[in-house]
Amino acid sequence: MFPHALRLTAATALASFIAFGAQAQEKVVNVFNWSDYIDSSILDDFTKETGIKVVYDVFDSNEILETKLLAGGSGYDVVVPTANFLSRQIQAGVFQKLDKSKLPNLVNTWDVINERTAKYDPGNEYATDYMWGTVGIGYNVDKVKAALGIDKIDSWDTVFNPDSMAKLKDCGVYFLDSPTDVIPTALKFLGLDPEDNSPDNLQKVEDMLLKVRPFVRKFHSSEYINALANGDICVAIGWSGDVFQARDRAEEAKAGVNIAYSVPKEGAEMWFDMLAIPADAPHVDEAHAFINYLLKPEVIAKASNAVFYANGNKASQQFVDKAILDDPAVYPDETTMKNLFTVGALDPKTQRNVTRMWTKVVTGQ
Amino acid sequence: MTDAAMSTTAVKAGGPVNAVLNRLVIIVPYLWLLFFFLVPFLIVFKISLSQTAIAMPPYTPSFDLSEGIGGLLSGLKELSFDNYVWLTQDPLYFNAYVSSVVIAAVSTLLTLLVGYPIAYGMARAPTTIRPTLLMLVILPFWTSFLIRVYAWIGILKPEGLLNQVLLATGIISEPLIILNTYTAIFIGIVYSYLPFMVLPLYSALEKMDYSLIEAAEDLGCPPIMAFWKITFPLSIPGVVAGCLLVFIPAVGEFVIPDLLGGSQTLMIGKTLWNEFFANRDWPVSSAVAVILLLILIVPIVFFQQAQAKAQEQGR
């Protein structure tokens, strides 16, 4: 979570960039995206094609993005919030509607994804999908086999059952430090409605998590990529693409670390990162041009090939590497797809209960 | 006549023009305090009296200067101390404050124990090499604080440098689990804040007249006794300054516990982060910050007084 400190400097740097850009009358688009989430050649190609300079800045948590957006005057033209955050931000008046006449490439989008994102943004008026993925289990195949005697993980039972967690403790387990991802998953595992955060349900999740908590080495939302890749830990609840990046880094390092990703049979949460334009964006036309460029099939396919996440662009699938397209962990088959669920935004009171419960689980207080 | 009275007389003696100039010079730091401390504090304090809302910014009322005085007054009526009451209802906040103060206090003590011998050694070193030693203390600042803390992960982790060395030399047979524990936090804080302890200690010890020690030894005082009776008391202003310079930032420390500490570490910095970012509750997080400031003001006032005393003694 360290980049929060960095972010301040980044913001200052960006602010000076914006000021400079305005003076020079140069065409600019200020993009704020997740870290490690694009093939950087896409940005160069965009500048070559349109003459618009891309000022690209990154974040590593929705909370950071949201705080900047809510404070207003962020100076960003294109931002990439996750859909459940997006829906609340739309309510707060953070975004402007997309001008679809400037986005002819919207025809390439995938109806399967659009139907699901409409839950957060009815009619998909404010945003369009960039990438999507699942919350699952990333693991070190050999270490898990040694500890549990199983070839592959296929159930949430592995991380929510104290017996198996006790066996995994020594080789190391990380959980996402993200209540909005772990709690719905835990509810689903318990056979409850993943969107029902009633006090009763939260209590059940809390009881279950407190039993496995002693065996969790750390709750953290980004360290697990390196930790998995280096072989420091053997299991992590994590986001699909992050685990694939860990797998890739481990392969490059050739240290014999073999990482796999599982979408457990009980079902997994599906999330969507959405391209949106803040209401006070200084360069609206350039923002539309940038989004439209990302909606080009061959462009977004290049991004998917680099970051191992599925995108919401149906037409791009012919350009996506076969290994990625055929990997059910990235592009799930139909049966798995049926098991994936989405969760909506929480109201402030529920959010407070959820955060409080999460603090109790994480710190034991 | 006291020192203060004497300096006032000196000003009067300098004539009315000088007096006005002197006042003006004093105004600069006050303006600085006004704009960079008092105004931001008042803004935070005002937010702490507001309520959350799904809006930009995410609280209400937010004063809009265009609405004029009327808007301002109707907004004032909506302010309340509810958020402070809320802080007393959940033991989380109290525990977080206490654990932050305890962690900061223990780290300060450890930093003092490590820093004192270093400062003492520097102060007693030959004058020619003192600038080099001083440089060595400051040198780590040339590398980013974040990167230095990150480096400790590589040293302390189970397969890290420290464990490899200890295992290879046969001192231990099982890797020590240090990373993600309180020990790692203490190591991180002591390491990061050591220069803030060493520098004031060094400046206090360097000024000391070592002929006093010789005199004590001539009179038959054993060296250890001489240290406790002469050196240490004379270095107390440095000890106080160093301890406060370490303690105050350590209470609100966020990066070190996050990177080196385990998930169980409850500190006020993290609690504040949760309120602000996870709950989007700017009013409650502002209230947490205001209380933190009040907790820290006590040692700061103490520090100010100690400084003033030291200056008077120095005159």
Topology at the third CATH level for domain A3-133+271-331:
D-Maltodextrin-Binding Protein; domain 2 (3.40.190)
Residue B252 DSSP SS3? coil
Q: Which of B312, B302, B107 is nearest to B196 (CA)?
A: B107
Tell me whether domains A3-133+271-331 and A134-269+344-363 share a fold: yes
What does pTM read for this prediction?
Answer: 0.79
User: In angstroms, rounded to a whole number, what is the distance separating the alpha carbons of residues B138 and B133?
Assistant: 9
Triad A166, A170, A171: Cα angle to 5°: 110
Q: Environment class of residue A270 by beta-carbon count within 10 Å: exposed (0-12), middle (13-18) or buried (19+)? A: buried
Triad A159, A161, A167: Cα angle to 5°: 75
Listed by number, the residues of chain B in 49-78 with a beta carbon closer than 8 Å to a beta carbon of chain A are 52, 54-58
B58, B180, B274 member nearest A355 (Cβ): B274
Say if the Cβ atoms of A363 and B277 lie within 8 Å.
no
With the C-alpha atoms ordered B265, B266, B268, B271, is the resulting torsion angle positive or negative? positive
| Residue found under tokens 């998953």 | A185
Say if the Cβ atoms of B58 and A70 lie within 8 Å.
yes
Q: Name the DSSP class of A52.
A: P
The pLDDT of residue B57 is above 60 = yes
Lowest mean pLDDT among A19-23, B127-131, B278-282: A19-23
Compute the average pLDDT of residues B85-113: 93
Element (H, E) at A331: none
The pLDDT of residue A105 is above 80 = yes
Compute the average pLDDT of residues A154-158: 96
Element (H, E) at B19: helix B16-33
CB-defined contacts A:B, below 8 A: 87
- Chain A residues whose CB is inside 8 A of the B91 CB are 365
Triad A284, A288, A290: Cα angle to 5°: 115
User: In angstroms, rounded to a whole number, what is the distance separating the alpha carbons of residues A186 and A196?
Assistant: 11
Say if the Cβ atoms of B57 and A91 lie within 8 Å.
no
B180 contacts chain A (CB < 8 A): yes
Name all domains of chain B by residue range, CATH numbers in brackets: 81-314 (1.10.3720.10)
Is A324 in contact with A244 (CB distance < 8 Å)? Answer: no
Mutate to test the interface with B, among A181, A212, A230, A363 (most CBs of B within 10 A): A363
Domains of chain A by residue range: 3-133+271-331, 134-269+344-363
Query: How far does the CA of residue A302 sit from the closest CA of chain B (Å)?
Result: 32
Q: Which structure tokens are listed for B244?
A: 């406060």
What local confidence, expressed as pLDDT, does residue A345 receive?
86
Listed by number, the residues of chain B in 115-154 with a beta carbon closer than 8 Å to a beta carbon of chain A are 146, 149-150
ipTM: 0.74
* CB-CB neighbours of A169 under 10 Å: 16
| CATH architecture entry for A134-269+344-363 | 3-Layer(aba) Sandwich (3.40)
Query: How far does the CA of residue A185 sit from the closest CA of chain B (Å)?
Result: 18
The pLDDT of residue A21 is above 70 = no
- Chain A residues whose CB is inside 8 A of the B273 CB are 4
What local confidence, expressed as pLDDT, does residue B28 receive?
86
B94 contacts chain A (CB < 8 A): no
